[in-house]
Amino acid sequence: MTLREAIAEGAGRLSSEEDLRENAQRDAELLLLHVLRATRTLLFTDSDRTVSDREFSEYNSLLERRLLGEPIQYILGEQEFYGLPLKVTSAVLIPRPETELLVEAVLARLPKDKPLRIIDVGTGSGAIALAVAKHLPLAQVIAVDLSEAALAVARENAVRLGLQEQVRFMRSDLLAEVDGETRFDAVLSNPPYIPETDRTSLHRQVREFEPGMALFAGAEGLDVYRRLIPEAAKALKPGGLLAVEIGYGQRPEIEALLHVWSEVEDLDDLQGVSRVMLARTRESNFD
């Protein structure tokens, strides 16, 4: 069988599942190229190349995983975030493009030439911490997560990107284990924010494969913000920056939690949904 035929067959199988149909061709290509350890160029330069039996059987087992709904990123083991190739496993949330908006907003507000102290709460794959560290070379970043398995992936990503000196990882329930003496210039977080009640309506690829600990935060999805925002207020320097990703329709509740903060802003994602909230601590309101 040739490469072209193998892709056509795989795409046909994936198309039999309604929720896989849209990306069936792309997914079949990516899975076969993964098996062949080749780039897309091969599709244009040698699509009549023969696929060996061993390669075809490996390709088939990846197709089976995809047919069961496993996200393509977990199968390939990688997702790009803010231009960085990140390893992802089922221990971490697959970093989303919406979260790049948070990184962009933070980078636009923090000085590049100062030795900042920044913390990323709920780091998952390390996406936010590593992207920010890469673009703010003088910053020292702490990245925390409750999940040891997630931290192992994040540490590996830091090493792969050569950022291990700049980003330190630790297990902590939000800011509980972080040295109380340390004050930060910025607290960043894309916390779990999906309401438990939305569990059944989630796409199966999310519900069945991404870690629940990364997704859900109580009945309304606000449990983590309710703890994180007051903790962040204590951990930040006066005038320090808080940046959090928020879920659909959560802006009024988050605004209420930020009522004693200053410079409160919200940013829309490409769908026009409020997705990121930013605020700064005041000098005096938190004691």
Q: Please give the residue ranges that form the binding site for ligand SAM (CB under 6 A).
A: 92-93, 95, 99, 121-125, 127-128, 144-147, 150, 173-174, 190-192, 213-214
Cβ closer to ligand SAM: 29 or 210? 210
Cβ closer to ligand SAM: 29 or 245? 245
**Is 191 annotated as a binding-site member?**
yes
Q: What's the closest the beta carbon of residue 216 comes to ligand SAM, in angstroms?
A: 9
Q: What's the closest the beta carbon of residue 130 comes to ligand SAM, in angstroms?
A: 10
Would you list the DSSP string of the chain? -BHHHHHHHHHHHHHTSHHHHTTHHHHHHHHHHHHHT--THHHHH-TTPBPPHHHHHHHHHHHHHHHTT--HHHHHTEEEETTEEEE--TTSPPP-HHHHHHHHHHHHHS-TTS--EEEEES-TTTHHHHHHHHH-TT-EEEEEES-HHHHHHHHHHHHHTT-TTTEEEEE-STTTTS-TT--EEEEEE----B-GGGGGGS-HHHHTTS-HHHHB-STTS-HHHHHHHHHHHHHEEEEEEEEEE--TT-HHHHHHHTTTSEEEEEEE-TTS-EEEEEEE--SSTT-
Cβ closer to ligand SAM: 99 or 250? 99
Cβ closer to ligand SAM: 63 or 241? 241
**Is 69 annotated as a binding-site member?**
no
**Is 193 annotated as a binding-site member?**
yes
**Is 77 annotated as a binding-site member?**
no
Q: What's the closest the beta carbon of residue 211 comes to ligand SAM, in angstroms?
A: 6
Q: What's the closest the beta carbon of residue 35 comes to ligand SAM, in angstroms?
A: 27
Indicate the annotated binding residues for S-adenosyl-L-methionine: 122-126, 145, 190
Indicate the annotated binding residues for substrate: 190-193
Indicate the annotated binding residues: 122-126, 145, 190-193
